[in-house]
Every structure is written in C-alpha cells, then in structure tokens.
C-alpha cells in the first residue's frame, strides 16, 4: 500500500474534488481507495448521497480490537500486528470509485482524528493491494491524526488557489511542517498543486513558496461540478481540462512511487531513518548503490544521479508529461482514450472507478 496525502492551508481550494479526480484517473492495474480524514468533517456523503458508514470511522473502531493505548500528546490507539484491513469499510461511489467515507460532523471528525493517529503507520505499511489517497482537508491544530498521515505519506500534496492570501497561508503551513521535520519528524517534502491556474502561474507560485511543483489544475467549472457529484456527460467529463490535468498529476505521483519501489528492489535502502526525503527538502535521497536508472521508470527522466561524499545518490525525478490521445501507447494507462462515445450521455455522477478514465 502506498499512501498519498492531500491538504490545504486555508479556504476550499478543492482538496476533496482533486482527491476524487485522482482516484478516477489512477493508472489502470493499480487499485486505489480515496479516504476522508478531514478533521473539519467529510463532504463525500453529502455530495454523492452515500451513507456516512461504513467508512473511516468504522475502520478506526475495528482497529481498536486488539489495540493498546498510546501514551503521548496524541494518545489514541496503536494496533498490534502488521496489517490493517480496509476492505470491509469501503463503499463505492455511484461511478464505482472505492472510498472510505468520513463523518460529516466536525465534532465527530475531530474525535476520529485521534483514532487515525494510532493507525496511520499501518495504513502506510499495510499489505493491502490498494494505493490510498487521503483527503486531509485543511491543516489544523491540534490534530495528531492529520499530522500522522502527513508524516507517513510517501507523497504529500499541498493544494492552494492562486489568490495571494491563500498562497500566504500555504507558506505559513509549509513553514510549520518544515519545523516539524527539522525537529526529527520524518516527512516527505510537500509538492504544490495550484488550482484555478495554468502551468506558468503555478511555476511562479512554487518558486515563491520554494517548493517543488506537482501540477496545475485549470479552472473548469463544468468538470469540477461533475467531480462533486452533479449529473453530467461521461464523454465530456473524460476529456475535460480538470481530468486531463489530474491525469498528469496521477502519472507524476505514481512515477515517484515506482521509482522508490525500483530503488528498493535493486537492494538500496532509503536514507534518513527510512524517510523518503532528506530533511533539507532539496532532493530525494537514496542509499549508496542506487543509480539514476534504478529510480527512473517508464514515464520519468532522471535529472541527476550523482553520489555525494557520504555515498548517497541524489536524484531529481521529472515526469515526462501526459500522452496526447493521438499517441496512446503508454502501458501504464495514464491517458483517456480519444473516443469515449461508447460510454453514452448524459450519464454519470462522477467520480468513476479507478482507472476507468485512464
């Protein structure tokens, strides 16, 4: 299981919408589940007309069985054993996407956050065959479960709008997380996803915040509405700007996952106590013996692969970008077929099943 965490600093830049879109275009052949872990309360139940349970709350309750209390600021519970079974707690949205629905009530969600703190590590290391996309909502305090998810995630995406105030709050949130990492907390370097913007705006925002850019999500009112549960055309949605941008982002995230897997399969170990990133948050660090080729699977290029004085190899990955419909030969399935007319219209309450739009 690989854990991908999404969060924002302020406002509603579209974290839940983006999480669902990523699940809808996740590469075929990789199972994915979208999990709500927003301490302010979930939105999926209301958006898609599904029950609030089973979901994240029933998973936490089941995790209590055979669990021991954890002493410390977050308290909560820690599971005994090395496996957590999410399958009985999954629901399917009308389009087929597998989700762990969170409670809509802010009070219930805040109480659940403490329980999530005790099972975050198992969610990240469990032997499930599913990748887990976690909607962490707005960064809050004190929220030990939200922080634990961010610390355990192999990829952390901070979602922000291009509005100046939103970028300012995002910078503050990133500074807070950097302080946590500097105090010895293991955490992947957050990457920026800028919504309602184009690539040039996003590049400028990433430079301003001094973080890597994961991608830009353009303004797409029609596509976003369908992704939020409103009826619409499957064919139009499959070709919409929000889905095309989400596909690029999903490809980038999965490419990094495969890079780490290839590195470990080649006999290298991740440095800094198992953290996938150096605490300086400059480049990805892998142990001595890894090469650029080992961390550059299909769809990526290795910008560098030089060994430092300690024998570690610092490698920056760059996703090669989306494949246009006219040249769909990517075996990973990152693209929407050029013709989706067979799906019929008007027809869907999105998000659809993982990989169905890939």
Query: What domains appear along the chain, each with residue ranges and CATH number?
Result: 3-257 (3.40.50.300)
Rounded Cα–Cα distance for residues 279 and 295 (Å): 20
Q: What are phi and psi of 338, to 5 degrees?
A: -65, -30
pTM: 0.74
The per-type count for the chain, helices as H runs and strands as E runs, is 10, 17
pLDDT tens digits for range 184-206: 667 888 999 999 988 889 999 99
Q: Where are the beta strands (DSSP E) in 154-253?
A: 155-161, 191-195, 213-217, 231-232
Token duo for residue 299 = 């769809």
pLDDT tens digits for range 134-169: 999 999 888 999 999 999 999 999 999 999 999 999
* pLDDT above 50 (res 80): no
First vs last C-alpha separation in the chain:
20
């Amino acid at each position: 299981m690989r854990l991908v965490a999404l969060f924002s600093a302020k406002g509603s830049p579209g974290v839940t919408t983006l999480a669902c879109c990523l699940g809808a275009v996740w590469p075929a052949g990789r199972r994915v589940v979208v999990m709500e872990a927003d301490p302010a309360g979930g939105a999926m139940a209301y958006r898609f007309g599904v029950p609030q349970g089973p979901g994240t709350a029933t998973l936490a309750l089941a995790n209590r069985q055979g669990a021991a209390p954890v002493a410390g600021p977050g308290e909560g519970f820690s599971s005994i054993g090395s496996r957590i079974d999410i399958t009985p707690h999954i629901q399917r949205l009308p389009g087929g996407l597998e989700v762990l629905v969170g409670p809509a009530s802010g009070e219930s969600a805040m109480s659940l956050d403490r329980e999530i703190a005790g099972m975050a590590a198992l969610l990240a290391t469990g032997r499930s065959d599913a990748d887990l996309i976690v909607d962490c909502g707005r960064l809050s305090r004190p929220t030990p479960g939200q922080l634990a998810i961010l610390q355990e995630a192999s990829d952390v995406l901070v979602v922000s709008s291009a509005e100046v105030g939103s970028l300012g709050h995002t910078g503050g949130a990133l500074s807070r997380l950097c302080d946590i990492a500097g105090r010895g907390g293991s955490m992947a370097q957050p990457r920026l996803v800028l919504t309602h913007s184009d690539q040039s705006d996003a590049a400028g925002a990433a430079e301003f915040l001094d973080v890597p850019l994961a991608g830009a999500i353009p303004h797409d009112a029609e596509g976003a509405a369908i992704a939020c549960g409103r009826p619409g055309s499957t064919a139009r949605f499959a070709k919409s700007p929000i889905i095309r941008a989400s596909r690029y982002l999903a490809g980038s995230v999965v490419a990094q996952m495969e890079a780490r897997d290839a590195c470990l399969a080649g006999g290298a170990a991740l440095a800094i106590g198992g953290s996938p990133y150096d605490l300086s948050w400059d480049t990805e660090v892998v142990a001595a013996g890894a090469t650029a080729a080992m961390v550059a699977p299909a769809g990526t290029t290795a910008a560098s692969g030089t060994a430092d004085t300690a024998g570690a190899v610092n490698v920056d990955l760059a996703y090669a970008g989306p494949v246009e419909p006219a040249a769909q030969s990517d075996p990973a399935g990152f693209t929407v077929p050029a013709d989706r007319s067979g799906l019929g219209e008007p027809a869907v309450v999105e998000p659809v099943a993982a990989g169905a739009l890939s």
